[in-house]
Amino acid sequence: MLCYIYKISSSKSDLVYIGSTNNKYRFSEHTSRYKLGLNNCSVVKLFDLGLEFCQYDILETFDFIDYEYQLNKEQDYQNIYKDKLVNIISAKCRMTGYEIYLKYKDAKQKYQIANKDKIALQEKARSLIYIDCSVCNKKIKQRNKGRHEKGKKHLANLP
């Protein structure tokens, strides 16, 4: 998979936006989201000056190794343009978010493996809890509450 470091600039401004992507059509993705009013990326500052003044350049193309490598490369370019950068969230920030996510995922997996039996017991206990449905006047499993309340029988019993 190929990755791109790209720059978006405007002839109406000195500012630039630096991003990285594996999407060949990233620029049109940015602009079409913008036209729909859905782009909340900081590149909007440049688009607001007029899309017709914007220019999209690929600064580097490389093979995707991993997300960390991609973000590091993006950060290198953001450092080069640091005085003109319109980006609010730098690659480094995204990296930190990504690392936190990985750590969390890892910790969660470790917990699940270490507490396999405890979790299974909790699951089982939860499956045995019954509550009253006041609409149907009957006991239902608490874990099925959501499904029950969308079910035909329950809906038919609604006043």
What is the binding site for Zn ion (CB under 5 A)?
Answer: 133, 135-136, 154
- Which structure tokens are listed for 81? 């343009």
Q: Which of 49, 135 has the CB closer to Zn ion? A: 135
Give the torsion sign (CA, 92, 98, 104, 106).
Answer: negative
Q: Least distance (Å) from Zn ion to the CB of residue 131?
A: 10
Residue 86 contacts by C-beta under 8 Å, 6 or more apart in sequence?
Answer: 15, 16, 17, 42, 43, 45, 46
From the CB of 152, what's the least distance to Zn ion, in Å? Answer: 10
Q: How many angstroms separate the CA atoms of 103 and 115, rounded?
A: 18
Smallest gap, in angstroms, from Cβ of residue 129 to Zn ion? Answer: 16
CA atoms within 13 A on the CB side of 9: 12
Greatest distance between any 2 Cα atoms in the chain: 70
Minimum CB–partner distance for residue 134 and Zn ion (Å): 8
Q: Which two tokens stand for residue 41?
A: 């990326």
CB-based contact 6:21 (threshold 8 Å): yes
Considering beta carbons, is residue 85 or 135 the nearer one to Zn ion? 135
Angle at 85 between CA 27 and CA 95, to 5 degrees: 80
Judged by CB, which is closer to Zn ion: 90, or 142?
142
- Minimum Å distance from CB 126 to Zn ion? 19
Q: Which of 33/154 has CB closer to Zn ion?
A: 154
Nearer to Zn ion, 2 or 131 (CB): 131
Other Cβ atoms within 10 Å of 39 Cβ, number: 16
